[in-house]
Amino acid sequence: MGDVTPLDAARPRALEFFAGIGLARMGMEAAGFRVAWANDYEPDKKAMYDAQFGETDGHSFALGDIGRVLVSDLPRDVSLAWASSPCTDLSLAGGRAGLAGAQSGTFWHFIRLLRELGDDRPEVAVLENVTGLATSHGGDDLAAAIRAFNDLGYSVDVLALDARRFVPQSRPRLFLVGAQNPPEDIAEPNSELRPDWLQWVYGDETLRTHRAALPAPPAPMHTGLGSMVEEIPLDDERWWDRERTEAFVASLSPTQRERVATMRRESGVKYRTAYRRTRGGVAVWEVRPDDISGCLRTARGGSSKQAVVRMGSKRLQVRWMTPREYARLMGAGDYDLSGARNNQALFGFGDAVAVPAVAWLGEHYLMPLVRGALGKASARVAMVAND
């Protein structure tokens, strides 16, 4: 990336906890921030991160367990701290151990470091996680996270934002936005960003919360998967052979098999995505009925990997989704994949946050919060100077 330019130096600086392959960084920097420090514990993810961003003056990456990160390792004069902490113990696919779990519990080290920063604590702190955080342990985990921010001087806003509003992938996520100088609260009717199942947060008088005035996000996408699919020759070896494809079709339910057969007979080409599920102890395939991708996941096993189904003009072909397709569906279509292994890339993207969701939040919420705080601080300095 080269040296820090005067323009870069003027950008508010950010910390990127649980950085993964850097998709949050891409979104934050698109919104005008400059990421000065990052941390993750997986060498494979750092390798992809380094390939994408290169060596940048004014940026450091702490590889290792966040529990071993010291406050002295963190740069000062930062305006934003972003944390995409592990969701393993909060997702429906996990054990639902919540914030007490070994993976998702790393959130408390993020809180520890913010506490130890003291007066150097950033103006804004964000936690991104799966929507399962809202229901984990009957809402107690979400309340505990908000109180942890409250104890550090942050008022918290809670937003539900689906990447489907920006890319053709169903990927709902929860964002906790902590502000030391929150905007004026708006008594709005329930919005798309704060649906009914989140409203209890604002009615709990033991929690310090706010609701910022925000523009309506883009409408959810219902089509567009085809534009994400790589053009792969029909005789490419990545397409499954006849026997495997027939086994795929045979595993479909009668309803799905008929739907697939109909699309296969139609003219033109259509793409759908498919997951392998276990139903009644039997592995079966399920094809999405709509023209968007299912939620990308980490490629720890066959059931988590997503397949692409190509249908039309009496043909049906199936293959695994490629790393480039994962990248496009995460809003990072130009990501440098030149040195990444297949599963390394799938894992990195499946365990990340969608770039355009971060960029939208950064542009419409985080940057205005930071600029407002910086403006107030400058005004206070000017008043003192004039006294």
DSSP 235-253: T-TTS--HHHHHHHHHHS-
In this predicted structure, what is the pLDDT of residue 283? 85
Helix (H) or strand (E) holding 31: none
In this predicted structure, what is the pLDDT of residue 136? 84
In this predicted structure, what is the pLDDT of residue 385? 55
CA Rg value for the chain: 22
pTM for this prediction: 0.91
Q: Residue 7 CB: number of other CB atoms within 10 A?
A: 8
Cα dihedral across residues 17, 22, 24, 25: positive or negative: positive
**What is the C-alpha separation between 58 and 329, in angstroms, rounded?**
30
Nearest alpha-carbon partner for 161 in 370, 364, 358:
358
**What is the C-alpha separation between 171 and 329, in angstroms, rounded?**
10
In this predicted structure, what is the pLDDT of residue 57? 79
Low-confidence ranges of the chain (pLDDT < 50): 1, 87, 89-99, 101-104, 301-302, 381-382, 384
Pairing of strands 172-179, 270-279: unpaired
Question: Beta partners for 158?
Answer: 176
> Which amino acid does the sequence have at 385?
A
In this predicted structure, what is the pLDDT of residue 185? 85
Instruction: Give pairs for 284-287: CB < 8 Å, separation 24+.
Output: 284/251, 284/252, 284/253, 285/248, 285/251, 285/252, 286/252, 286/253, 286/256, 287/252, 287/256, 287/259, 287/260
**What is the C-alpha separation between 367 and 14, in angstroms, rounded?**
11
**What is the C-alpha separation between 110 and 59, in angstroms, rounded?**
19
In this predicted structure, what is the pLDDT of residue 1? 45
Tokens of 251: 């595993």
> Which amino acid does the sequence have at 24?
A
Distances (CA, A) of 300 to 47, 211, 290, 303, 304: 18, 38, 25, 8, 7
In this predicted structure, what is the pLDDT of residue 380? 55
Q: What domains does the chain contain, in order, with CATH numbers? A: 6-220+349-386 (3.40.50.150), 231-321 (no CATH)
Are residues 370 and 79 in contact, defined by beta-carbon separation less than 8 angstroms? yes
